[in-house]
Amino acid sequence: MVSRRGVAAGGIAAVAGGLGGLALGGGPAAAGGGVRLDRMRLVSLSHVNDPATTNVFPGDPPFRFRTIATIPDDGYLLHYVEEGEHTGTHWGAPGHFNTGEPLADELDPSDLFLPAVKVDVREQCRDDPDYAVSVEDLKAWERRHGRIPDGAMVVLWTGWDAKWGTDAYPNADAEGVMHQPGFGLPAVRWLVDTGRLGRTGGTGTDTFSPDVGTDETYAVSKLVYQEHRISLEVLGNLAALPETGAWVLAGGPIHRHGAGSTATIFAFVPTD
């Protein structure tokens, strides 16, 4: 894994060097210089998918991973993977929750490459697993770090990434109700109404969903997943994502009429 990241980072730096000062990201958030890839390091924000540890959202199909060819028997190694589109770290397309909105193959590549901000709410969530991030939380963040860019990926760091692979991650009670923090609906309405989430952009989280776990109506998801906005979910390694200045890229296969994709999600983090 480390060697692959090193190779990828080297390749990106080489390409960026050839491109010189080319700024990537054509939307409003790119104003003022855009992204210099030769001044970024690559960080993975994804958990490793492993059937022994991967938490699966209640009701989703089980995750199966089996060997179907080995080097001693077949001359090569190959596995068969069976999982839902949103198993483990993944991104969702607008059509995941809204009929008629774009599906995975109808998005533009630029919809998956976005300026990112990280809102650290671990303290609020430590004693309240049902914590709903408020408009005031976001305004307090802006007083410290400046305005959230238009069309941004707004990532919550709730601390749930540290619980991955354990029963504490879904945090279900005796009735099977999950208790995970998320965005409050007024906070997302404010992000949308002010353009911070525009035609593009989205929400990110280290939990299963941008919704608070107890909300079975998915009200936040239905609002986020509109136009060309996406959601990044079950993120990991958020300690490596700075509060400002990074960009995120959502990878993974693009399935025809897909609702999203299990993904390796990368952060491009400034080195200076």
For the domain that residue 213 is a member of, what is the CATH number? 3.50.30.50
Q: Within its chain, how far is the Cα of 160 from the centroid?
A: 13
Express each pLDDT in 73-89 by its tens digit.
999 999 999 999 999 99
Q: Tell me if 154 is assigned to some domain.
A: yes
The pLDDT mean for the chain works out to: 89
Residue 193: phi and psi, rounded to 5, are: -65, -30
CA 58/CA 22 separation, integer angstroms: 44
Q: How is the beta sheet containing 265-270 ordered, strand by strand?
A: 40-44, 265-270, 246-250, 113-120, 153-157, 202-205, 230-233, 90-92, 260-262
pLDDT band, very low/low/confident/very high, at 17 (cuts 50, 70, 90): very low
CA 210/CA 218 separation, integer angstroms: 9
Give the pLDDT mean for 153-176.
97
Express each pLDDT in 99-119 by its tens digit.
999 999 999 999 999 999 999
Q: Tell me if 75 is assigned to some domain.
A: no
Q: Is residue 7 pLDDT above 70, yes or no?
A: no
pTM for the full model? 0.86
Q: Tell me if 73 is assigned to some domain.
A: no
Count of domains for the chain: 1
Express each pLDDT in 22-53 by its tens digit.
344 444 344 335 667 788 999 999 999 999 99
Q: Tell me if 49 is assigned to some domain.
A: yes
Q: Tell me if 67 is assigned to some domain.
A: no
Express each pLDDT in 183-206 by its tens digit.
999 999 999 999 999 999 999 999
Q: Tell me if 72 is assigned to some domain.
A: no
pLDDT in the model for residue 36:
79
Contact 271/39 with Cβ under 8 angstroms? yes
pLDDT in the model for residue 47:
97
CA 93/CA 254 separation, integer angstroms: 10
Domain that holds residue 32: 2-59+85-270
Q: Tell me if 136 is assigned to some domain.
A: yes
- Measure the CA angle with vertex 108, ends 11 and 2; round to 5°: 30
pLDDT in the model for residue 148:
98
Q: Tell me if 64 is assigned to some domain.
A: no
pLDDT in the model for residue 9:
40
